[in-house]
Amino acid sequence: MGGLSPEREVSIVTGNSILEALNRKGLTALPIHVDHNIGETLKSNPIDLAFLALHGTFGEDGCIQGLLEYFKIPYTGSGVMGSALAYDKLKSKEILKFHGIPTADYEVFYKNQKKSRRLDLPVVAKPINQGSSLGVTIVRDEDQWESALETAFSYSNEVIVEKFIDGKLLAIGMNGMTPMPIVHIRPKSGFYDYEAKYTSGKTEYICPADLEENEADRCRQTAQQVFQVLRGRGFPRVDIILDGDGVPQVLEMNTIPGMTPTSLLPMAAREMGLEFDELVIEILKTAQRDYTE
């Protein structure tokens, strides 16, 4: 838990929630706070399994997964390649487009490189590699454009700019290839930013989402496709906007969803009769390595 990314504090909340659940279940678990000495920490604290509660860079991008592969420690979440593909917003977009999975039109901007915007407003500017909506801006007016880019570039040297899609923001947790109940996210501010995600009362959640059965079916099928093409494993979460035409437009797949009091995966699990502690155990059961000898 913890780690080196701007999402460190959220990761600690997630990690402590998971640790408490494991202890309540009678398992021997210890918190490992990730820093630059993580290799030495793993050498001095032999473990059987790693329950990953890391968010952001070095936690969801394949780095810690690769280190655990070298130590021959099974871990939860996607493998090295799956983690890297899902975390890189540009690469995941390219894969979705290649497979014909609906996702917003986009373009890429690079730091210190001048380029005119092709897409008409409104657009969403976001860092290529970042989570928790950090550095994300919805640009509705031209005078917001430069500051939105500056904000996104403060987190990444590459920025992806997507056409804004108006619709229902949905989260679909996955138990392997099986979709969990769909959560409809309704931020009171109109934008699901960092504050709306992690501040109680800032967002309304509806689970199961109030959708027509054919809409729900399309969303579930799309989530299954995303899980496949991005090499999902375990219990990831696929985020979708259901547009005005009833088309599920994919935003991303989160390979290590949050497990905080306001998190979406535990909410979906409760709807299907799986309480938090049981969910933690089910996730733990999926721990594995990419490579075996």
DSSP 36-49: TTHHHHHHHS--S-
pLDDT digits (tens, 9 = 90+) for 98-124: 999 999 999 999 988 878 899 999 999
What lies within 8 Å, CB to CB, of 71 at 6+ separation is 42
pLDDT digits (tens, 9 = 90+) for 124-152: 999 987 665 778 899 999 999 999 999 99
Q: Measure the CA–CA gap between 235 and 78, rounded to whole angstroms.
A: 9
Q: State pTM to two decimals.
A: 0.92
Q: Is 201 a catalytic residue?
A: no
Question: Does an H or E element contain 270, and which?
Answer: helix 264-271
Q: Is 239 a catalytic residue?
A: yes
Q: Which domains does the chain have, with CATH numbers?
A: 8-76 (3.40.50.20), 85-101+166-274 (3.30.470.20), 106-163 (3.30.1490.20)
Question: Which has the closest alpha carbon to 230: 34, 120, 109, 77?
Answer: 77
What pLDDT is stored for residue 75 in this prediction?
Answer: 97
What pLDDT is stored for residue 115 in this prediction?
Answer: 83
Q: Is 198 a catalytic residue?
A: yes
Q: Measure the CA–CA gap between 258 and 171, rounded to whole angstroms.
A: 12
What pLDDT is stored for residue 19 in this prediction?
Answer: 96
Does the structure show a pLDDT above 80 at 191?
A: no
Q: Looking at 77, 83, 198, 215, which residue is catalytic?
A: 198
Q: Looking at 78, 237, 263, 290, which residue is catalytic?
A: 237
Mean pLDDT for the chain overall: 92
More confident residue, 15 or 191: 15
What pLDDT is stored for residue 131 in this prediction?
Answer: 62
Q: Measure the CA–CA gap between 13 and 2, rounded to whole angstroms.
A: 9
